[in-house]
Structure formats: structure tokens, C-alpha cells
Amino acid sequence: MLKDRTQIPQLAIRPVVGLGMLYHSTPALLTADGYANFVHMLKQAGVPWPELAAAIVAALECTGGFCILIGAFTVFFSFLLAGELCVRIVSIYLSGNGFPDPLPGGQPLPSYETNLFYILFTTALINAGGGKFAADTLIWAWVKKSSAED
């Protein structure tokens, strides 16, 4: 009985993290203005190779956000996103300039508090997994069934 109840928090956490990551990364990945805005902010933050970094980070956040939303490879993407967010916070803090300003009309980077909440939630998903109602459950059931048939 208790084991079933421990699967419920992931139902709330996964959509928050997944949709949040998609909201912040989709413009940078799918629109030229969003990408230019993200590159601009990474240049202000002093990130080396901002064009490449913007593409990699946007792709990671978009892919990871979608996978966490549906519960596929939850622990793997939660680990990658938590690491990326920690690097973001530390590099911006060490730059001493605060969060960079977006281009006019552009979406700003999430604040320290928002990033810390994402880190908290992804850490919870690293520890708990995607839960009973996740694509991971279906994937592992299929893997076990396939290996049992061999």
C-alpha cells in the first residue's frame, strides 16, 4: 500500500519539470529569434563558444523536458539537467555580473530561485525515478519480456 503512494509525487513533479524545460528551451531551439536571444545572453555571461553552447543546451533541455514529461529515461535526463543547471548557476554567479539581459522582446533566463527549484525537482526524480505511471515502467517491462523470450 505504501509503495503505491510513494509513486504519486512523480505525477506532480514530472509535468512541472518537463513543461518548464520545454517552455524555456523550445523558443531557443525552434526559432531564430529565440536562438539569437539565447546566444546573446550566453555571450554576456562569458560562455565560450556561445553558438554551440546555445544549441547543445537548448537541445538537452527540450529533449530532457519531453522525456521527463512522459517519464522516459527519467533518471538519466534528470541527472543531465541537474548538472547543466548547476553549471549555469555557478558560472553566472562566478562571472559577477548577475543574470544577463535578453534582447528586447526576448525571453530571459530563469532566475536563481527557479533554477534551484528545477535542481530540487530533478534531484527528487534522480532519487525516486519516473514512478509507476511513467514510460520507463513500460520500457523496462518490454526489456524484461524480450530478454525472457530469448
pLDDT tens for each residue of 53-78: 999 999 999 999 999 999 999 999 99
pLDDT tens for each residue of 98-138: 888 899 888 888 888 999 999 999 999 999 888 888 888 88
**What is the 3-state secondary structure of the chain?**
CHHHHCCCHHHHHHHHHHHHHHHHHHHHHHCHHHHHHHHHHHHHCCCCCHHHHHHHHHHHHHHHHHHHHHCCCHHHHHHHHHHHHHHHHHHHHHHCCCCCCCCCCCCCCCCHHHHHHHHHHHHHHHHHCCCCCCHHHHHHHHHHHHHHHC
Residue 2 has pLDDT above 60, yes or no: no
Task: Give the per-residue pLDDT at 95.
Answer: 79
Residue 8 has pLDDT above 80, yes or no: no
